[in-house]
């Protein structure tokens, strides 16, 4: 559970504490779920910002009375959207000390309690950092399991889909130089491979030389650049001798500023996230906005994976085929034990993870 919300400081393990509790009793419409895997995501740090993003951006909220994309529709449509959106209503809730830490999860339904999801089903939900949860059936999305469950939370889950739609949005063409930030992470490892499948020349940005070698050796990135070096701008220019055509930005700040300088005329940027601002750091720049956008006629667009909910099944299907054929590799970083979740999140924000980080809370269903 959350012991204390971080104010303007980096997240630490002391912001959480481990408690024993009872298996929850079910309310109307709820099922009892056993957590199998919990996702570790940079967004969890954003959910911990007091009065943060959710309060400032009411248009994102899916609370009662403010279901923005479907506000004029009936209750069935709301329930249908909520299920397909993988209970986003829940993640918009403001977190308080004492709350169970929220997390995307894969769970096994162990008591469907008369709801329409049978016992034994594997569901994507937001059960959080706990072994058992009462999950409203309309907030759970049944998964058709056809590969390792870790893939369903990674390459075929939220982060894989985020990579898919971010690349689709910027639409790299054959031989165009495509730069991917946070390239060795969950979104980045998939996005870089998808850009390569589109025929682009792919350059990954990461903060570690070991990760850079992995990207080039195992995932076929054409080049990599360490953004932590003082020579970052010059190194990026050297790795992109024909300039940058497409950029998937998960970082914001100085990294975005440097890539904007390297973009070609009519370059395209998909703004996926801004991890450099999540962990207590004040936003810095970029200073070249709007000049670079105007002078180079750039197209810069933010997006959310939820903009494409109707297209998720088709995207999952295509990604599943690429995984099966070996054209796409899922790099995963699974840590055993729920008690290690705080350390895993703090470590992810410090760049410890390689690929999709998850916590193994319990065994796969037998």
Ligand X SMILES: NC(=O)c1ccc[n+]([C@@H]2O[C@H](COP(=O)([O-])OP(=O)(O)OC[C@H]3O[C@@H](n4cnc5c(N)ncnc54)[C@H](OP(=O)(O)O)[C@@H]3O)[C@@H](O)[C@H]2O)c1
Residues lying near ligand X in the complex (CB under 6 A): 41-43, 158-159, 162, 182, 184-188, 206-208, 211, 227, 250-251, 255, 272-273, 275-276, 303-305, 348-349, 351, 353
Residue closer to ligand X (CB basis): 121 or 159 = 159
| Minimum distance, C-beta of residue 308 to ligand X, in the bound complex (Å) | 9
Burial class (CB in 10 A: 0-12, 13-18, 19+), 152: buried
Residue closer to ligand X (CB basis): 199 or 283 = 283
| Minimum distance, C-beta of residue 42 to ligand X, in the bound complex (Å) | 4
Residue closer to ligand X (CB basis): 111 or 208 = 208
Residue closer to ligand X (CB basis): 97 or 210 = 210
| Minimum distance, C-beta of residue 355 to ligand X, in the bound complex (Å) | 7
Give the CA-trace dihedral at 181, 186, 191, 194, to 10 degrees.
150
- Give the CA distances from residue 85 to residues 158, 213, 313, 355, in Å, rounded to whole numbers and listed in that order: 10, 36, 12, 23
Residue closer to ligand X (CB basis): 231 or 304 = 304
In the bound state, the residue with its beta carbon closest to ligand X is 185
345 DSSP assignment: H
R_g (Cα) of the chain, nearest Å: 20
Give CA–CA dist 249/52, Å, rounded.
Answer: 21
Burial class (CB in 10 A: 0-12, 13-18, 19+), 203: buried
| Minimum distance, C-beta of residue 276 to ligand X, in the bound complex (Å) | 4
Residue closer to ligand X (CB basis): 112 or 358 = 358
8 Å CB contact between 110 and 30: no
Contacts of 167 (CB under 8 A, 6+ apart): 191, 194, 195, 198, 248, 270
- How close are the terminal C-alpha atoms of the chain, in Å? 29
Return contacts of 59-63, CB within 8 angstroms, 24+ apart: 60/92, 61/92, 62/88, 62/89, 62/92, 63/89, 63/92, 63/93
Residue closer to ligand X (CB basis): 130 or 206 = 206
186-197 and 158-170 helices, crossing angle to 10°: 40
| Minimum distance, C-beta of residue 110 to ligand X, in the bound complex (Å) | 28
| Minimum distance, C-beta of residue 21 to ligand X, in the bound complex (Å) | 28
Residue closer to ligand X (CB basis): 188 or 267 = 188
Task: Give the number of other CB atoms < 10 A from CB of residue 175.
Answer: 10
Residue closer to ligand X (CB basis): 5 or 187 = 187
Burial class (CB in 10 A: 0-12, 13-18, 19+), 295: exposed
| Minimum distance, C-beta of residue 23 to ligand X, in the bound complex (Å) | 30
| Minimum distance, C-beta of residue 260 to ligand X, in the bound complex (Å) | 15
Chain-centroid distance, C-alpha 137: 23
| Minimum distance, C-beta of residue 322 to ligand X, in the bound complex (Å) | 18
Give CA–CA dist 122/33, Å, rounded.
Answer: 9
């Amino acid at each position: 559970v959350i012991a204390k919300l971080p104010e303007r400081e980096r997240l630490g393990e002391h912001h959480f504490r481990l408690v024993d509790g009872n298996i929850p009793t079910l309310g109307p419409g709820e099922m009892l779920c056993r957590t199998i895997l919990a996702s570790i995501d940079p967004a969890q740090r954003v959910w911990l910002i007091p009065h943060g993003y959710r309060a400032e951006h009411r248009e994102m909220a899916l609370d009662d009375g403010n279901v923005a994309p479907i506000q004029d529709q009936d209750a069935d449509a709301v329930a249908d959207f909520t299920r397909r959106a993988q209970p986003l209503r829940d993640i918009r809730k403001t977190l308080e000390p004492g709350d169970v830490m929220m997390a995307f999860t894969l769970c096994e339904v162990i008591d469907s309690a008369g709801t329409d999801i049978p016992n034994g089903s594997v569901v994507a939900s937001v059960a959080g950092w706990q072994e058992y949860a009462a999950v409203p059936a309309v907030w759970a999305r049944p998964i058709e399991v056809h590969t390792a469950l870790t893939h369903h939370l990674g390459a075929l889950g939220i982060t894989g889909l985020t990579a898919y739609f971010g690349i689709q949005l910027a639409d790299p063409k054959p031989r165009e130089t495509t730069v991917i930030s946070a390239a060795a992470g969950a979104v980045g490892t998939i996005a870089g491979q998808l850009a390569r499948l589109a025929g682009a020349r792919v350059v990954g940005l990461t903060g570690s030389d070991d990760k850079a070698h992995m990207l080039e050796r195992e995932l076929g990135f054409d080049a990599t650049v360490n953004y932590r070096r003082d020579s970052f701008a010059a190194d990026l220019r050297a790795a992109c001798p024909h300039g940058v055509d497409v950029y998937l930005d998960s970082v914001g700040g100085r990294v975005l500023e440097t890539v904007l300088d390297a973009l070609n005329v009519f370059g395209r940027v998909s703004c996926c996230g801004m991890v450099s601002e999540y962990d207590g750091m004040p936003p810095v720049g970029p200073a070249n906005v709007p000049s670079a956008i105007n002078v180079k006629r750039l197209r810069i667009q933010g997006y959310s994976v939820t903009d494409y909910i109707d297209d998720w099944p088709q995207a999952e299907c295509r990604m599943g085929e690429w995984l099966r054929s070996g054209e796409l590799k899922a790099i995963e970083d699974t840590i055993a034990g729920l008690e290690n979740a705080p350390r895993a999140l703090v470590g992810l924000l410090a760049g410890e993870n390689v690929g999709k980080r998850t916590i193994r809370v319990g065994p796969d269903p037998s």
